[in-house]
Amino acid sequence: MPTSIITTDDLREFKMELLDDIKQLLTSQDSGTLKRYLKSSEVMDLLQISPGTLQNLRVNGTLPYSKVGGIIYYDAQEIQKVMEENRIHHLNF
């Protein structure tokens, strides 16, 4: 199997594509509105991340959450806010 070298530019480009895809998902739901609170499984599907990654986002304070009766909920607006705050704008010369 040939080895590929991934550069930081490749990672930035991937991140931008991922952010654009997530933004599109958040803004174009079938019903036109996103549920206010999402369970962990819904967030993992939305962001296409693993349970471990979601746990890391909780632990390091990236994604705020609420825990009610052992179930963890995430505010959809907070997820959108985190995505927008981490958006990287490239300057084209």
For residue 19, what is the domain's CATH number? 1.10.10
**pLDDT classification of 28: cutoffs 50, 70, 90:** low
Chain segment 35-83, per-residue pLDDT in tens: 789 999 999 999 999 999 999 999 999 999 999 999 999 999 999 999 8
In a domain, 25, yes or no: yes
In a domain, 91, yes or no: no
In a domain, 1, yes or no: no
In a domain, 75, yes or no: yes
In a domain, 90, yes or no: no
- Domain hosting 65: range is 8-85
User: Taking a C-beta distance cutoff of 8 angstroms, is the pair 78, 64 a contact?
Assistant: yes
Exposed/middle/buried for 11, CB within 10 Å: 0-12, 13-18, 19+?
exposed
